[in-house]
Amino acid sequence: MKKINSFEYGTLIWFLIRACFIVSSASLIISISDEESWFSIIIGTLIGIIPFLIYEYLKKKFPNQNIIEINQKLFGKFGYILNFVMCLTLLVFIIITFWMLTNFINTQFLYKTPFLVVALALILPIAYINFKGIKVIGKVSLLSFYISFIFIILILSGIISGIYIDNIKPFFVHTPNEILYSALIFISFNVLPIFLLTIIPKNQITNYSSKKNFLFYIFACLSLLNVIFMTITIFGIGLSSIYEYPCFEILKRVSILDIIDRVESILTIEWILALFIIISMILYFLKESFKTTFKNIKKIDKKGNYFVIVVSLITLIVSSIIFLTNGMELEFFKGPFIYLAIFSFVLLPIITALKAKFSS
């Protein structure tokens, strides 16, 4: 069994929480909560502790099993249905997340390059590290974390002087429903992806620490609170609402030592790495689900790699045709995806946790 250490596991929490923010949830939250977007993230972080604790409970209760095995053990044949629903949701998630990454790079940096060419260049390394397994994914995440941390320091030092605190005023002008709705968007896109880590059994993580995991959770959520705070206080809600990627546009304000400008292309790497990690983890979850479900088949590891290729091809093809009309993705992200994510990654794990508690 290939293992990762607790710090590598923590960096996975960091990236899974941050990944979708710059390319989707930030603009969605700003469009609903305006100046009070920061408050929505605080509410979302607090509510998000509930699914975080559920995932931690399942890991401690079944230290040698992943979520797929747990459902099969607790529910028998019905567990296969639960697992199918979760994997189907993740198939949708990997397609739209891969679309987010490819569309972002295609529109902001490689707008003269065909979408499929960009997509192919991205899916190949993602598939490759999945062939290598969770140990390599953990090492990639750890290295990416150090790179990201350096970039975050550079970003903060380059834009902090542009903060105008009055831009987050007035307070409490939005209804509780609007704030809660924005919080649900944050939870769906930035908290619930840590569900992916339930595919890694506790005993596969050396020196596992729930306290350390929680610190990474809070640290990651606070970093996103800082991003939205910086964006609104520097741009104001007017500009923040206009841009498709407001948190990316803020990087254009970064100036290193007042000498080096226009470094947003380099600094964006930390967000691209986060998306790379989350897509890799979704693919890993699907691969391990396949191997667990069909574990009695001969040469299942080799067939698991074939499965990675099939899912990668599906992701590549469907992501290129899924949102042909501009604005379709916003309607999907604001509606169906939120309900699908909450059902699959909150309600189903709650059912599993309750079954585990009352059957013991």
- Backbone φ and ψ for 62, nearest 5 degrees, come out as -130, 75
Residue 205 DSSP SS3: strand
Output the pLDDT for position 54.
Answer: 97
Output the pLDDT for position 324.
Answer: 59
Question: Which CB contacts under 8 angstroms, 24+ apart, belong to 70-77?
Answer: 70/352, 70/356, 71/352, 72/292, 74/352, 74/355, 74/356, 74/359, 75/352, 75/355
Output the pLDDT for position 22.
Answer: 87
Q: Along the 360 residues of the chain, how does pLDDT read in single tens digits?
A: 678 999 999 999 999 999 999 888 888 899 898 888 999 999 999 999 999 999 999 999 999 999 999 999 999 999 999 999 999 999 999 999 999 899 889 888 888 889 889 999 999 999 999 999 999 999 999 999 999 888 888 888 777 777 888 888 877 787 889 999 999 999 999 999 999 999 999 999 999 999 999 999 999 999 999 999 988 998 888 888 888 888 888 777 666 555 444 556 667 888 899 999 999 999 999 999 999 998 888 778 888 899 999 999 999 999 888 765 555 666 677 778 899 999 999 999 999 999 998 886
Output the pLDDT for position 77.
Answer: 92
* CA–CA dist 21, 153 (Å, integer): 18
Output the pLDDT for position 328.
Answer: 64
Output the pLDDT for position 157.
Answer: 78
Q: Tell whether pTM > 0.85.
A: yes
Which residues of the chain form beta strands (DSSP E)? Answer: 4-5, 205-206
Output the pLDDT for position 252.
Answer: 72
* CA–CA dist 32, 191 (Å, integer): 19
Output the pLDDT for position 262.
Answer: 52
Output the pLDDT for position 165.
Answer: 84
Q: Which of 139, 107, 112, 128 is nearest to 268 (CA)?
A: 107
Output the pLDDT for position 107.
Answer: 84
**Structural domain spans, the chain:** 4-359
Tokens of 66: 């992943």
- For domain 4-359, the CATH class is mainly alpha
